[in-house]
Structure 1
Amino acid sequence: MLRSRDSNIRSFVKFKNCSCRVVEVHWINFHGNNIHYSNLKCGETIVVNTFTTHPWIFICQKTGERLRVNNNEVFLAKPWFNFIANSDNGLVSVEREEAQIHIALKSLKDICLWKIIYLIRQKDDIDYLQIPKTLKNDLAYFFYLSTRYREIESENSTSE
């Protein structure tokens, strides 16, 4: 199960939203629950002090779709000591690791299915679409992913 472990080695991170969507930043706590940390608009950044064993995930606010960070589904920061920098005057500083949030590379079919999700208000609406049954099944699965994400989020927000 994906969850935070110990809090021994610190990390200093800058998350940057490189997508064209509003991104929800979530920390996965010690029990494996998604804890909403912040929202980032297109191009925005946020600095976070975390630990190397604390996972982070990123979700499109509108669709519930999981986004990628540095080409991965989950972000685990590198140790702070990997980012030590020496300046010209002899001082030592620690730079932040930059993590770029972006949309996963998808097939044209998946892109179209996610676009249709924006238009569907309830699962029964899928039956009225004039598309092949296999696409309806795929669309029902995407709809399930989108609504299941929203259910989990509301459960997490009420338990905090």
Structure 2
Amino acid sequence: MSDSETEADSPVKSLHYNRPAYITFLNRTGYPIDIAWLDYRGNIVRYIKELASGGVYHQNTYFTHPWIAWHSRTLERASFGGKKVFQPQPWQGEQHRTVVYIDRPMKSLLKLCLQTVKYLVRGDVELLEIPKDLHGPLKKRRRIDFVDYTALYRH
């Protein structure tokens, strides 16, 4: 994954597929999100594109299969209970799916403002009449490299 923020965690990837988990993602972010699985090599495999705010997505998965989500347009990472990566719990005979809430991460006012300016200004940020120490953070653009599962398995 290529991301302007450094991930403090060690590389995350799927380990095995012997304990199923049944989950339902619920988008509470207020904006469309993409949801992806981290495969056995740690590659990002997008499973859903632009799940609407308030949208629900059911997924059969496995205990050691991690999931991530991001804002469909700004690529800002979403969170699962304050965590950047969701690790499912194994199914233990429950008659219902585990509901997984996807939320906006907590950010400082500065980060929120920088994110908005990045979205609105696509050109040369050095032409803006703002403090020069904001130019560097505004030039950083986020990128997520993934394989699109939905495109691979269309019928």
The TM tier, using the shorter chain, reads 0.7 to 0.9
- Normalised by the length of structure 2, the TM-score is 0.83
Query: Does 2:37 match 1:36?
Result: no
- Normalised by the length of structure 1, the TM-score is 0.81
Aligned to 1:4: 14
**Could you tell me how far apart the structure 1 residues matched to 2:121 and 2:72 are?**
16
Runs of 4 or more consecutive aligned structure 1 residues displaced over 2 Å after TM superposition: none
Secondary structure, counterpart of 1:118 in structure 2: helix
**Could you tell me how far apart the structure 1 residues matched to 2:122 and 2:137 are?**
16
1:69-121 Cα distance to aligned partner (Å, 9 max, x none): 1221000111111x62xxxxxxxxx2111100010010000000110111122
**Could you tell me how far apart the structure 2 residues matched to 1:10 and 1:98 are?**
15
Mapping of residues 2-81 of structure 1, within 5 Å: 2-39=12-49, 40-81=51-92
* Matched residues, number: 138
Q: Which runs of no fewer than 5 residues in structure 2 stay unpaired?
A: 1-10
Shift of 1:41: 0.2
Shift of 1:137: 1.3
**Could you tell me how far apart the structure 2 residues matched to 1:30 and 1:121 are?**
36
Which has the higher relative contact order, 1 or 2, with Cα contacts under 8 A spaced 6 or more apart?
2
Q: Tell me which structure has the larger Cα radius of gyration.
A: 1
Q: Which has the higher helix share?
A: 1
Q: CA RMSD in A?
A: 1.4
Aligned to 1:131: 130
Shift of 1:52: 1.0
Quick one: percent identity of the two aligned structures? 30
